[in-house]
Amino acid sequence: MAKSGDMLNIDALGIEIHLRQTAEDTDGELLEIDVIGRTRGFLTQEHVHTSQVERHEVIAGVLRLVIDGQTHMLHPGDAMEVPADAPHRQVPGGAGDGHVRIQIRPAGSTQQFLERLAELSREGRINRFGLPKPVAAAELVRDFGDEGRATHPPAAVQRAVSKLTLGIAALGRPYIFVDEWEVAAPPRAVWGAIADARTYPDWWRSVYIDVEADGPAQLGKESRQHFKGRLPYHLHTRSVTVALDPPHSITGDVDGDLRGRGTWTLTPSATGTHVRFDWQVHADRRLLRVLTPVLRPLFRWNHNWAIARAIEGLEPYAQRTAAHSAERVAV
């Protein structure tokens, strides 16, 4: 979090903010900031602070402050307070940049709100009209709406639209899984099992039902998988090997009922092989997309169950493979 003396650059809204006193400095009683520039976009729209009093003091330029429909023109040296829960808007007056000192009592989460605006500005999540893009706007309502909000539409409508927007956005958010474990078998044997997906039904039991592939993994080679988890549905995918570094790593791009990328990384360890599986995936089957916002924790549980079956099966399979290879060498 920024501290007193720091500056927040919010180019997308035409201003920079200098922190004079923070909530940390004042035990939450006061936030004092200097706003320099020419405010634009949604910051000039009518809004309310449900439990905070704002004091505006003009240092340079002209400020048009509208409180409950009454317009006040403030010039250098003028100051005015906005009571809590009073609809108001502040708009630059005259030409050029202005400099306004604002005190907010109590400080609340206003500094975090301003830091979020600076972040949105850096990330290009505020459009050319100075309005946060839909998901960014919904996040602002979710995170700060109880303390301050636009006057219109009603607060209940804003919350409902925010929830709907974030729910829709969640449909496109990928699942990201990272799983790591130790296998008491040599890397070559572990690699052989992981790289050749045709072996999955042999050791990744209860998950993989069938895998079709024309031989072991090679760059550009495809395989097709039919598998399931604990949830009551079967999935069909196609995987293409896009990176291969035997016996260290293999990466495949997946499409079908699931879409994403998986990377297996093998590292020699004191006990045999350290296995890491990075899996970033979108659910493309229609039912899964619809249920994702509600059932995301359940899908993660399903993944964890499937990985547990891999942990159970990979080690004994790799150990048997290594033993058979040793026997062939001995013969």
Mean pLDDT calculated for residue range 25-29: 96
What would the pLDDT profile of 279-309 be if each residue is shown by its tens digit? 998 766 555 555 555 556 777 888 999 999 9
pLDDT digits (tens, 9 = 90+) for 260-272: 999 999 999 999 9
Domains observed in the chain? 7-123 (2.60.120.10), 175-330 (3.30.530.20)
In the predicted model, what is the mean pLDDT of residues 192-218? Answer: 93
Residue 36 pLDDT exceeds 60: yes
What is the pTM assigned to this prediction? 0.63
Mean pLDDT calculated for residue range 6-10: 97
Q: For position 325, what pLDDT does the model report? A: 74
Average pLDDT, the chain: 91
Q: What is the pLDDT of residues 63-73, one digit of tens each?
A: 999 999 999 99
Query: Percentage of the chain surpassing pLDDT 90?
Result: 80
pLDDT of residue 291: 54
Looking at residue 290, its pLDDT comes to 55
pLDDT exceeds 60 at position 331: no
Mean pLDDT confidence for 179-186? 97
- The Cα-based distances of 190 to 196, 317, 319 in angstroms read 10, 8, 8
Taking residues 206-233, what's their average pLDDT?
90
User: Given this model, what pLDDT does residue 215 score?
Assistant: 82
Number of residues assigned to the chain: 331
Residues 6+ positions from 11 with CB-CB distance below 8 Å: 121
Q: Which residue has the higher pLDDT, 292 or 135?
A: 135
Band (174; pLDDT cuts 50, 70, 90): confident
Q: What pLDDT score does 247 carry?
A: 94
Q: Report d(CA 229, CA 264) in Å as an integer.
A: 20
What is the enclosing helix (H) or strand (E) of 296?
Answer: helix 286-330
pLDDT above 80 for 329: no
- Mean pLDDT on 21-29: 96
Mean pLDDT lowest for which of 137-141, 166-170, 179-183, 321-325?
166-170
Tell me the longest C-alpha to C-alpha distance in the chain.
97
Looking at 14-18, 53-57, 235-239, which range is the least confident one? 235-239
Contacts for 297 with CB less than 8 Å, ≥ 6 apart: none
- Using pLDDT thresholds of 50, 70 and 90, give the confidence band for residue 84: very high
Give the residue with greater pLDDT, 171 vs 161: 161
Pairing of strands 7-10, 15-21: antiparallel
Q: How confident is the model at residue 233 (pLDDT cuts 50, 70, 90)?
A: confident
CA distances from 26 to 20, 21, 80, 104, 177 (A): 11, 7, 22, 11, 42
